[in-house]
Structure 1
Amino acid sequence: MNFFDQLQTETEQQRVELFSAPIITRALQGDVTTDDYIAFLSQAYHHVKHTVPLLMATGSRLPEELEWLRVGVGEYIEEETGHQEWVLNDVAACGADKEQVRRSKPNLATELMVSYAYDTVHRINPLGFFGMVHVLEGTSISLADSAADNIRSALSLPKDAFSYLYSHGSLDQDHVEFFKGLMNRIDRPEDQAQIVDSAKVFYKLYGDIFRSLTN
């Protein structure tokens, strides 16, 4: 079994638990309000804006023998730059004040996930950050298109209020294949174990962000 498939298999339980978050279940049924959607976007902004800094930190801490992976991180940086502004533009398209979202503080659950990501990169093992990539990209591929379609239909919002979700849905398959290719080149057991362990934690922390939206 290649490492990507191993990663999928060993985190299946955590993935199921994330997808059981009530607001995800309701979103897939179109049973959400505009305020729910704006709350989701607000927290997305607060973690998406850290994606590029985290990638930069990860790349800077990789050893020379993983130069091929640093090149991959560079491609990710190019791809991910500016996505937090897409989120804010979606907020504006919903009729909310995107600058107020920019100035707001994240929920505790969001702050904890971001903090864990930085701690993993700087204190534990920079490859653990790929556990976060796995969780966020995999969740987006599985949910983004159907959730966006159902929310858009239920709330009669314009399509340009969903640029973040649609861009991370099924059209992002090439990005997932790129991630698979990188993961399948990681052969040190300790690095593989770190990515799996981190992914399990990120599933819990990301699920907590969704659960915090209904508190």
Structure 2
Amino acid sequence: MSTYAVASLRLELSLVEPALRAASARMWRSGPGLPGRYRRYLRAMHQVIRASVPLMERAAARCEALTGDPVARTLAPYLRTHAEEERGHDDWLLADVAATGASPDELTGTVPPPQVAALVGAQYYWLEHSHPVALLGYIAVLEGNAPAPGLAGRLARETGLPDAAFETVRLHADLDDGHSADLDRLLGLLPLDAAQRSLVAVSALHTVASLAELFDRITAAPTEWESTDD
């Protein structure tokens, strides 16, 4: 994927990411419902992030099975390294939940909603039945839309929850910019054909739409996610 192709992907994303930012702004709006929305956000993000390492490990294994594929040969070590960088991030969310006074069992014992399955599950389909390079579109969106640097502090002030409840938001605001730069460098090096470039773009656009839908679900507070804080 040339530098031009990377710029083209970023341009495509720039056209749809305003909808994601708007959904995020609705979720984080100030008001009495914010503590409950934040708790629902922790639950949803745990359901998403606990799949990150297994997804990357499975994609790496698929790459390693594609002998003679120059894209897979370069992609596999990136995925293995990145999986190690992301390992344990779901545990950060469990610690954040505990800091809010809730039980981590509320995260691990809940059936994920369809929006989480749609967001994450599409990646399993594409890496198994098309090409594991699809996962780069997913990673590009998640790491290219990291929490704003000041968000953790504002949420702590406005929710009244302890600072320790916002470590994941704070850490991802610091880490994900560097990860996005690494991903752009990789995309610029991979010898993607037209179908693979399209796959990365489709994966990225699907991720934007699914993530925005998930944020709107958190904001709307469906019955099974209702909180006494709302």
When normalised by structure 1's length, the TM-score is 0.91
For the 8 Å contact 1:3–1:186, the answer to whether it is kept is no
Partner of 1:5: 7
Between the aligned residues of both structures, percent identity stands at: 23
For the 8 Å contact 1:121–1:129, the answer to whether it is kept is yes
Deviations 1:142-184 (A, max 9, x none): x342332221120122222111111111443322221111111
Partner of 1:25: 25
Task: Flag the 1:214–1:173 CA change in 2: closer, same or farther, 3 A.
Answer: closer
In the alignment of these two chains, the number of paired residues is 211
Letter in 2 for 1:197: V
Which has the larger displacement, 58-67 or 26-35?
A: 26-35
Partner of 1:39: 40
Tell me, in whole angstroms, the C-alpha distance in 2 between the residues paired with 1:90 and 1:5: 36
Letter in 1 for 2:80: G
Deviations 1:34-65 (A, max 9, x none): 11101001010111111011101111122342
Which has the larger displacement, 197-206 or 119-128?
A: 119-128
Tell me, in whole angstroms, the C-alpha distance in 2 between the residues paired with 1:154 and 1:195: 38
**2:192 counterpart of 1:190:** no
Instruction: Please give the secondary structure, in 2, of the residue aligned with 1:20.
Output: helix
Shift of 1:107: 1.7
Partner of 1:48: 49
Partner of 1:105: 111
**2:97 counterpart of 1:87:** no
When normalised by structure 2's length, the TM-score is 0.85
Gaps of 5+ in 1: none
Letter in 1 for 2:40: A
Q: Where do 1:30-179 residues align within 5 Å?
A: 30-31=30-31, 32-62=33-63, 63-64=66-67, 65=70, 66-140=72-146, 143-179=147-183
Gaps of 5+ in 2: 221-230
Instruction: Please give the secondary structure, in 2, of the residue aligned with 1:42.
Output: helix
Shift of 1:131: 0.9
Q: Tell which structure's C-alpha radius of gyration is larger.
A: 2
Tell me, in whole angstroms, the C-alpha distance in 2 between the residues paired with 1:168 and 1:161: 14
Tell me, in whole angstroms, the C-alpha distance in 2 between the residues paired with 1:107 and 1:121: 22
